[in-house]
Amino acid sequence: MCGIVGIVAKSYVNQTIFDALTVLQHRGQDAAGMVTCEGNRFFLRKDNGLVNEVFRTRHMKKLNGNMGIGHVRYPTAGSSSSAEAQPFYVNSPYGIALAHNGNLTNADQLADEIFRSDLRHINTTSDSEVLLNIFAHELQQIGKLQPSADDIFQAVEKVHSRCQGGYAVVAIITGYGIVAFRDPCGIRPVVYGKRVNEQGEEEYMVASESVALDTAGFEMVRDLIPGEAIFIDIEGKVSTRQCAATSKVAPCLFEYVYLARPDSIIDGVSVHHSRMEMGVKLADKVRRVMPEHDIDVIIPIPDTSRTAALEMANSLGVTFREGFIKNRYIGRTFIMPGQTQRKKSVRQKLNPIQAEFRDKVVMLVDDSIVRGTTSKQIVQMAREAGARKVYFASAAPEVRFPNVYGIDMPSATELIAHGRTADEVGEYIGCDWMMYQDLQDLKDSVSAFNPEITEFDTCVFDGQYVTGTVDQAYLARVDAKRNDDAKQADPSDAEDGNESADLHNKID
C-alpha cells in the first residue's frame, strides 16, 4: 500500500503536493518523493523518511513548476534503501516520471522481457520501475515527436495487456501533462477532482484517496473506473478513456477494513460509514451466537477499530469505553524482521487504563488479526488490568492467505488464522471467546452504500485472487520472501521498494 498524487495547476504545485502527501502519510511511512515540471525540465526530490523529513525548505525551493506528482511508500520484500524511493524516471521518450501503488504479479517475467526484447535496463528490485519502463517502451513504439492524448491512451492499453496484478499509477510526461490509470479490476483506488483558483482557472488533482482532494480545496469529480486512464495536459484539458479490453469492479475489501482513512470515499462508499456498519454486523453476530451475553464494556484497540467498536456498543446497548492509550511516537513494528522485536514494542505502544478493566467482562474489538502477536499481548494486558473475562472481536474475517496486490502480509504460515479455527485462535491469544466478522457481512457493510459493487478482492480472507493470474508457484515465491526466517537471514533485505505493510502502524 502506497499513496500517489498528481496535480496540474496554474501556479507552483510543490506545496500542494507536500500537503497532499502529508494527508496520505498513513499509506506509506518508509519513503517519500516528488517530481515537478517547469518547461522541459524535471525537478526531483526523494528519500527515505516521513514527508516532513524528506522535504525541507531548501528542497521545496528547488521544486519548480505548475505540475507534478508525489508518492509515499511502504516497502515489501527486497531493499529499503533510498534507491527504491519513488517516483522513478526515464529520459526516453520525452522524459517520464512515474509513481505506483500496488504490485505486479508478473514483474519477474516483465523484467526479463524488458531486458531481452525492449532493450531497457532495470536498476532496482521495484516493480514500479518495471511498470515505468513498460509504459515508456509502449509510448516510444508509437514514434511521435509530440504525443497526443490518444497516443498516451494507446500506450496504457498496452500496459494493461502486459501487466498483471493490482496497480494505481500516476505519471508525468515532460512538457505535456499528467496521466493516471487504474488496474482492470480496480483493486487499488484512484480518484480525481478539480478546483477553480482565484483567477477563475480550473486546476486538477488525482490521488489515492479523496481526503487528499478535500484538504487541498479540490472538489471530487469521481473515482477512475477499473481499467480507465485520465490525461490532463499542461493547459488543464482533461481526457479520459477505458483502456482495458475487459474490466470489472472488484476493489480491495481491506481498504475499507483499515487501509484507507475513515474520512475518504472510495468507489462511492464512505469508509467511515462502512466501518460503522461493520460494528452493527458484529453486534448482530453477538446476538445470534451469544444472545445471553454478559459483556460489561466494549473497548477498541486503537485506532482503526474505534468506529466499529462504538457502533457495536450502541447496537448492543453496552457501555463503550476507551481502555488503551496509544503512544504515537513509537516506530512501526508490523514489518520488524523478527517476533522478538515486535513483542518488545507492544507494551511501549499501548498502555491500559486499569479502571476500565477491573472486575469487568470486556469485549476487545480490533479491525483484524494478522500474526496474533499483538492480540495475545493485549489480552494479557487486559487480564493484568483486572478484567474478569476477556472476549475478542475482529471487524474482519480470519486473515488466512497472503495479499499479492500491494499489501505485504506475512508468509501464510505466520498468519495466526492460517489452518486454525476461530476457537483455536482464541485459545492461542488467551481470550475467553473469539469472534470474527463473517465475510458476507463484511462485503454487505460496504456494498450497502454502493449496490453496484458486487465483487471484491477478498484474497486475504478466502484465497481467491480476482485477477485469476496467481498460481501456487507464485505464492511459494512470495512466501519465501516474506517469512521471518528469510528476513532474519538478511535484515537489510527484509522489506522493500514498492508497497505496504505497516498498515496504519498496526503492531501485529
| 47 belongs to an annotated ligand binding site | no
- Which residue has cell 453496484? 452
The catalytically annotated residue of 2, 243, 431, 459 is 2
- CA pseudo-torsion sign 402, 404, 406, 411: positive
3-state secondary structure at position 4: strand
Return all residues near 452 (Cβ < 8 A) that are at least 6 apart: 249, 268
Residue 286, exposed/middle/buried by CB under 10 A (0-12, 13-18, 19+)?
Answer: buried
**List of E strands, 54-197:** 67-73, 88-90, 96-104, 165-173, 177-182, 191-196
Short-list 410, 491, 478, 456, CA closest to 107: 478
Short-list 254, 300, 289, CA closest to 436: 289
What is the distance between the alpha carbons of residues 395 and 397, in angstroms, rounded to a whole number? 7
What is the distance between the alpha carbons of residues 118 and 113, in angstroms, rounded to a whole number? 7
**List of E strands, 197-347:** 202-207, 219-223, 228-233, 238-242, 265-266, 269-270, 297-300, 319-320, 324-326
What is the distance between the alpha carbons of residues 429 and 413, in angstroms, rounded to a whole number? 16
How far does CA 134 lie from the centroid of its chain? 23
Across the chain, how many H-helices and E-strands are there?
17, 22
DSSP 224: P
3-state secondary structure at position 217: coil
**Exposed e or buried b for every residue in 396-405, given b needs 16+ CB within 10 A?**
bbbbbbbbbb
Provide the grid cell at 327. Answer: 503512544
Most distant CA atoms of the chain, gap in Å: 75
- Which residue has cell 472488484? 250
What is the distance between the alpha carbons of residues 218 and 195, in angstroms, rounded to a whole number? 5
| 233 belongs to an annotated ligand binding site | no
| 367 belongs to an annotated ligand binding site | yes
3-state secondary structure at position 228: strand
**List of E strands, 349-388:** 350-352, 361-366
Distances (CA, A) of 60 to 102, 265, 468: 27, 30, 43
Distances (CA, A) of 336 to 31, 176, 316, 491, 508: 16, 42, 37, 9, 10
User: Has 2 been annotated as catalytic?
Assistant: yes
What is the distance between the alpha carbons of residues 191 and 396, in angstroms, rounded to a whole number? 25
Residues annotated in a binding site = 304, 366-367
**Residues designated as active site:** 2
Q: Which residue numbers belong to the known binding site for Mg(2+)?
A: 304, 366-367
